[in-house]
């Protein structure tokens, strides 16, 4: 589909279109920035991505999954950038994972088709949006509740087979998901009996904040075994599970190597942050916030123009040695909350802006 045709389709739906246009609009501060601009001339605070590190991370993960049985389905929330998502697709990713249905709508408008919404949806309006979205493309949604299955089936009526779902299992975190085993089999049978298209199983074992080694292997394997055991129970009932989706950046290699896993939802690997990096030593932190020192009390306090509205400080403040007026780069300690505070990422190399990635939220 051409770019103009996609744009026309966006404009035909006011709710989706308005969200997409707001999400993808370049902020005023970035409109005056030209490619080739020196980093020291950027308005601060500014979110920067070291392109050398980003490209190394991209290539490292792509190389790992090349010719592997399991495939990579990176998580959109780890960068919120359509342009970066396209780079991941060009490097071999089979599709995208996202957290919200409106993100799936926007990504469809941008030409992506293989999309998994790895969170449950609820409420009449949201369920109806999923039904309507399923008329356009086979977007997959996670479910863990039989009443949601019944509501979706009633809304979709004779087009219920267009609704693609994976059953979400609680394999470690204790938040969303049904219990592995009998409870998951029961919900899957409800999905099938109501006529929805059952695609498989999902289970997120969570960030495993450990370096590579036996303990990480044990924790990941225990969680993944719950997924595969449930898959085997379904197969005994004559219900095939085409998809088994799981994993993240901290245990991508463990998940890929586990027999029966078909896809891994690693996302943070592309940009990384300093709090996650020790648990994923294959990848380099690529994201920083550029700020300017505006005040200094010798030996006591340095004040920059990047506070909690520009960088997440949940893991503490960085230490710097700098003078008033100097630019500083602050390493990002948590990707998700920091990305939500900015409208774009400046991709930089050799001290100059080479790309500008708009952030969609």
Residues 239 and 320 both lie in one domain = no
Rounded Cα–Cα distance for residues 264 and 142 (Å): 15
Interior angle at CA 89, CA 270 and CA 354, nearest 5: 55
pTM passes above 0.85: yes
- Verify that 85 and 150 share a domain, yes or no: yes
Residue 271 sits at the vertex; the CA angle it makes with 344 and 317, to the nearest 5 degrees, is: 85
What is the β-pairing status of strands 287-297 and 115-117? Answer: unpaired
Q: Can you list the residues of the chain whose pLDDT is less than 70?
A: 1-29, 313-321, 323
Q: Which of 272, 297, 317 is the last residue of a domain?
A: 272
The answer on 37 and 87 residing in a single domain is: no
Query: What's the pLDDT score for residue 24?
Result: 58
Question: What's the pLDDT score for residue 319?
Answer: 46
* 107 plus 212 within the same structural domain: yes
Segments forming the whole domain that contains residue 312: 26-50+282-358
- Answer yes or no: do 75 and 146 share one domain: yes
pLDDT at 41: 92
- Which value, in Å, is the radius of gyration of the alpha carbons in the chain? 22
Q: Which of 272, 303, 322 is the last residue of a domain?
A: 272
Q: Which residues contact 16 (CB under 8 A, 6 or more apart)?
A: 10, 102, 105, 106, 109
- Looking at the structure, tell me whether residues 38 and 129 fall in a common domain: no
The confidence score (pLDDT) of residue 14 equals 40
Identify whether residues 263 and 300 lie together within a single domain: no
166 plus 116 within the same structural domain: yes
How much is the pLDDT for 307?
77
Whether residue 327 is contained in a domain is answered as: yes
Tens-place pLDDT, residues 47-92: 999 999 999 999 999 999 999 999 999 999 999 999 999 999 999 9
How many domains are contained in the chain?
Answer: 2
């Amino acid at each position: 589909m051409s770019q103009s045709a996609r744009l026309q389709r966006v404009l035909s739906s006011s709710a989706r279109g308005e969200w997409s246009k707001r999400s993808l609009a370049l902020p005023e501060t970035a409109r005056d920035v030209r490619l080739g601009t020196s980093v020291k001339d950027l308005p601060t605070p500014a979110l920067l991505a070291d392109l050398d590190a980003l490209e190394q991370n991209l290539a490292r993960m792509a190389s790992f999954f090349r010719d592997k049985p399991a495939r990579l389905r990176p998580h959109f929330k780890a960068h919120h950038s359509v342009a970066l998502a396209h780079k991941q697709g060009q490097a071999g990713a089979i599709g995208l994972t996202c957290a919200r249905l409106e993100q799936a709508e926007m990504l469809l408008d941008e030409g992506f088709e293989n999309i998994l919404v790895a969170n449950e949806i609820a409420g009449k309006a949201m369920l109806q949006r999923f039904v309507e979205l399923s008329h356009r493309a086979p977007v997959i949604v996670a479910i863990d509740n039989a009443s949601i299955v019944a509501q979706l089936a009633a809304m979709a009526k004779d087009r219920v087979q267009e609704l693609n779902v994976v059953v979400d299992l609680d394999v470690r975190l204790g938040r969303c998901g049904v219990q592995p085993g009998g409870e998951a089999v029961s919900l899957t049978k409800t999905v099938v009996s109501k006529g929805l298209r059952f695609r498989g199983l999902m289970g997120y074992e969570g960030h495993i904040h450990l370096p590579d080694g036996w303990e990480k292997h044990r924790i990941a394997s225990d969680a993944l075994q719950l997924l595969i055991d449930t898959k085997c129970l379904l197969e005994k009932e004559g219900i095939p599970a085409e998809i088994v989706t799981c994993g993240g950046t901290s245990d991508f290699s463990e998940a890929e190597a586990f027999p029966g896993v078909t896809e891994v939802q690693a996302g943070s690997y592309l940009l990384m942050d300093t709090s996650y990096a020790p648990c994923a030593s294959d990848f380099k932190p690529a994201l920083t916030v550029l700020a300017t020192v505006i005040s200094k009390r010798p030996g006591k306090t340095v004040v920059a123009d990047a506070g909690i509205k520009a960088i997440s400080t949940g893991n503490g403040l960085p230490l710097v040695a700098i003078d008033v007026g100097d630019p500083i780069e602050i390493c990002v300690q948590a990707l998700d909350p920091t990305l939500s505070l900015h409208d774009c990422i400046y991709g930089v190399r050799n001290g100059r802006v080479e790309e500008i990635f708009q952030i969609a939220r």
